[in-house]
Structure 1
Amino acid sequence: MRKPVINKKRQIIFVDDDVYVLKGYQRALEPFAYAWDVYFCTTGPEALTILGRQPIDAIITDMRMPGMTGIDLLEQVIQHYPSVIRMIMSGSIEEPSAYRAASLAHQLMAKPCEIQTIFGAVEETCHLRDKLSDKRLVKIITGLKSLPSVPTLYVRLIKEFEREQPTLAKVGEIISMDIAMTAKILQLVNSAFFSIPYKVSNLNQALSILGLNTIKSLVLSVGVFSEYQNRSFSAFSIEELWQHSIFVGNLSRAIAVSANLSRAEQDEAQMAGILHDVGKLIQTDIPGFYRLLSMNTKIPEIQMEYHYLGTSHAEIGAYMLSLWGLPSTVIKAVAFHHKPIAETAFKMDSIFCVYIANHLYYDERPNNKNALTLPPMDMQLLEQIKAAHMVEEWRYMAQRIFAGEKPD
C-alpha cells in the first residue's frame, strides 16, 4: 500500500510507567514511522523535560502512574504548553478520577486501545488544527480555560453505546442522574421543534420517541451550551443560538431523509447541525470580538470573522469537536458548513445537509429583517451534486418547522 506523503513529521509523546506497555506501543507504531517521531517516557517529569526542549504536537499519557499521575501531568501541560493536544488513557471511564481527566484532556480513551485508533484521532485533530491559519488563535483556542470540556454525561453515554446492545433503560438511568439534563430533554421534546402531538411527561417516553442517536446529540449540545447560559453578552444571544442550532439539526436530518441518505448519515447530519455553530460560543471568550462584529452590519458575519481572525467559527468549532473525538464525518460537516466546496466529493452528504439547512433557516425565519448574515446559497454547486431541484421542497420543510409542524 502506498503511504501518503507527509511534509513534516508529528512530534508525539507517549507516557506510561509500564515499560512493557511502552515497548508494545513502540512495536505497533513502526508502520507509522513515516508520519511520527515518537518519544517514550516512563514518568511525567521526563515528558515535561521533552516538552520544554522542543515543540510537541500531542501527548498521550496513562492516567494512573506513581508520583506524578497522568492528571497531574496534564495540569502542567495546560499551564505551560496549552497548544499541545492532550489525550489520556484510562482502564475505566466510570471511576471519579476519569471525570477529572475528561475535563483536562482533549480526548479520554479507554484501555486497551488499538494504535490505529490513537493514530487516527491524533491525525484528525492535527489536520484540523493545521487548517486554522492564525497560529496565535490556535494557541488561544487550545489554552482557553473556559474551553468547554466534553460533558461527562456524554462520556458515560458513549461507553454505554459501545456495548453490543445498548438499551434505552440503561441510557435513561444514566441521564436521570442529571436532573438539569433530564429537565432540558423533556423541555425540548415538548417544544415545537419536535412536533409531538401530545405531552411527554417522563424521560423514558422521551427517549423512546427521540431515539438513542438524537439523545446523544442533545446531551452533547446541552452540556456545551449550559456552560455559557448564565453569561451575559450585549451583542450575542446564547438562547437565540441554541434555538437556531436545534432548528438546523432537525432540518439537516429531514433533508438527509429526503435525499435518501443512510440512517448513519441522517444521524450525523442531525448531530452536525446541532453543533455546527459551537465555535461561536468559543468566540465569546475573545475579548471585544462580538462587539466588533456588531459594528459592521454591511458585510456577512462569516466574512468578518475571516477578516479579523484569519479563520471562522466553523473551523474553530470543528477543531474543538475533533479534540473530543467525535466522528470525522460530523467534524467535517461542522468545519465546512459555510464552504462545502472545500471538502465536497460532489455528492449529497451531511456537509451539504447542514449547509442547506443553515441557509434555509436565515432565508425563512419569521420577521427576517434582511440581516446580511450569509452570502447567497451556491445554486451552481447544488446543480453539480444534482440537488438544486430539491431546494424548494426543503424550503417548505423549513417553513413547516418554523410553524411548529413536522417537516415531512
Structure 2
Amino acid sequence: MSNTPKAIFVDDDLNTLNSLRRVLRRHCNDWDIEYCQSPAAALSLMSEFSPWIVVSEKRICEMDGADFLHLVSNQSPEVVRVLLTGAITSEVALDLADIAHMLIAKPFKPESLIELLHRAKCLHELPVSPVMRKQLGSIKRIPVLPRVYARLTSYLKNDMVDLHEVARIISHDSTIMAKIIQLANSSFFGFSRPVSHPHEAVVRLGQGLVKNLVLFFGISKQCDITDIKLRDELLAQAMHIAMISRQLSAACGCLFKETNDSFVLGLLHNIGSLMSSMSFIKIEANDDTTDYCEENAVGAYLLALWEFDEELVKAVLYQNSPQNSDVITPLCCRLHVAKVVNNAQKNGISALSEASGLNYELLQSQGLHDDVVLWINQFESEEQGEN
C-alpha cells in the first residue's frame, strides 16, 4: 500500500466539493484527495488511485450514496467507507449499518472531517496485512457494527438522552437485554437489590458501559454454531479479565471513567481471537519476531474502525508486549496485570511468581508497582479463602 494518504470525496453538488477542498487543503495538505461529482467517476478511479478512504454524500442524483458504497465494498473491500447524510436517526443508522463503516451527520464541522482523515491514517498504520484488510472489508455483518449497537450509538449522540429510550433500544434484542440485566445483578458490581427491567439495568450500569456491552454481546451472537465451544471460552475469558481489570482499577484509586475503560478494554481485548474463531476470516500463523500477533492487530483495527479511543486501540495491539508500545499508559498496564492474574489462576500459581510473567519493570515505570503487588496479595488471599 502507498504511504501517501489518499481519499475520494463524492458529491454532485460542486459548491459542497469546493468547500471541502478549501477546508482540507488548509488542514490536510499531506493528503492526495480526489473530488468527484458522480459515483461513476469515483468508481473509475478506484483501482488506479487506491484510496484509503471513500466519503460519499448519501443523496446523489445519479445513484444513492449507500448503493455507491456497496459497489465500493465489492470492488475494494479494504477501503474505509463513510457516508455523509442528514440527521442520523436510529432508524437511519440501522438501515445503513450493513454498508457504511462510519456516518457523519450534515451539517458537520471541519473538525469532523479532519478527525475522520486522522482516523483513516491510524487505521492504515496498524500492522494488518492487505489480505486481512480485504477479508475484514468483505464481511457484510462484521466489521460493520451490529445493528442494535449502531442504533444505540446513533441515539446516544443526541444532546438529551432518555434512559427509557436506551432501554427500549436494547430491548429489541432479547438475548442482549437478558445478558445486560444478568450483569447488572452480578454481585461483582456490589448491588444487593436485584433488577428485572432494562431501564433499571441501564440506570445501574450507566449508558456508556451499556453501549459497549451491547457491542460485546452483539458480536458474540454472530458466531457460527460450529464455533460455540470456542466462542464461549473466549467470551468467558473476556468477561473474567474485564472484571479483574475493573477490580484492580478500583483498588488503584481510579476514577469512574478509568475504571469503566479498564472493564471495556478487558471485554474487547480478545476480539481478534473471537473473529478468528469464526468462519468470517482466516488468520495465518503468527510471526514471533513482532511485538504483536495478527489476532491483536485485527482487534485493534476493528476498534479503530468503530471509533474507539486511540489509547484503547494501542492497548489491544500491544497487549502481549505493552513495554514496546510507543506510548505506555496505566490502562494497558492494568490489562497486562489482569491477563497475568487470569493465567496464574488457570495454572495454579501466584501472579507474583517469576513464572507468571508479571512485568515488574513496566509497573514501576508507571508508578503502579506497589498498588498492584498489594492488590494481588489481597486478591489471591481472598481466592484461597473461598477455596
**TM > 0.5:** yes
Q: Distance in 1 between matches of 2:196 and 2:47?
A: 55
| 2:240 pairs with 1:247 | yes
Alignment partner for residue 232 of structure 1, among 177, 202, 226?
A: 226
Q: Specify the alignment match of 1:353 in structure 2.
A: 334
The count of aligned residue pairs is 380
Q: Distance in 2 between matches of 1:118 and 1:139?
A: 24
Q: Specify the alignment match of 2:269 in structure 1.
A: 276
Residue identity opposite 2:314 in structure 1: K
| 2:9 pairs with 1:14 | yes
Residue pair 1:134, 1:311 contacting (<8 A) in 2 also = no
| 2:168 pairs with 1:181 | no
| 2:312 pairs with 1:330 | yes
Counterpart mapping for 1:250-265 below 5 A: 250-265=243-258
Alignment partner for residue 376 of structure 2, among 379, 390, 395?
A: 395
Residue pair 2:300, 2:314 contacting (<8 A) in 1 also = yes
Q: Specify the alignment match of 1:318 in structure 2.
A: 300
Q: Distance in 1 between matches of 2:383 and 2:61?
A: 57
C-alpha change, 1:48 and 1:154, in structure 2 (3 Å) is: same
Q: Distance in 1 between matches of 2:36 and 2:93?
A: 21
C-alpha change, 1:94 and 1:338, in structure 2 (3 Å) is: same
| TM-score, reference length from structure 1 | 0.82
| TM-score, reference length from structure 2 | 0.86
Question: Partner of 1:38: helix, strand, or coil?
Answer: strand
* 1:56 shift after superposition: 1.2
C-alpha change, 1:375 and 1:37, in structure 2 (3 Å) is: farther
Moved more, 388-397 or 198-207: 388-397
C-alpha change, 1:187 and 1:338, in structure 2 (3 Å) is: same
Q: Distance in 1 between matches of 2:289 and 2:231?
A: 22
Query: Structure 2 unaligned runs (5+)?
Result: none
Alignment partner for residue 132 of structure 1, among 124, 127, 130?
A: 127
Query: Structure 1 unaligned runs (5+)?
Result: 1-6, 293-303
* 1:288 shift after superposition: 10
C-alpha change, 1:148 and 1:11, in structure 2 (3 Å) is: closer
Q: Specify the alignment match of 1:3 in structure 2.
A: none
Moved more, 139-148 or 81-90: 139-148
C-alpha change, 1:118 and 1:287, in structure 2 (3 Å) is: closer
Q: Distance in 2 between matches of 1:360 and 1:337?
A: 14
* 1:16 shift after superposition: 1.5
Q: Distance in 2 between matches of 1:306 and 1:99?
A: 38
Q: Specify the alignment match of 1:120 in structure 2.
A: 115
Indicate the structure whose relative CO is greater, using CA pairs within 8 Å and at least 6 residues apart: 1
Q: Distance in 2 between matches of 1:160 and 1:397?
A: 41
Residue identity opposite 1:138 in structure 2: R
Q: Distance in 1 between matches of 2:281 and 2:60?
A: 42
In angstroms, what is the RMSD of aligned CA positions? 3.2
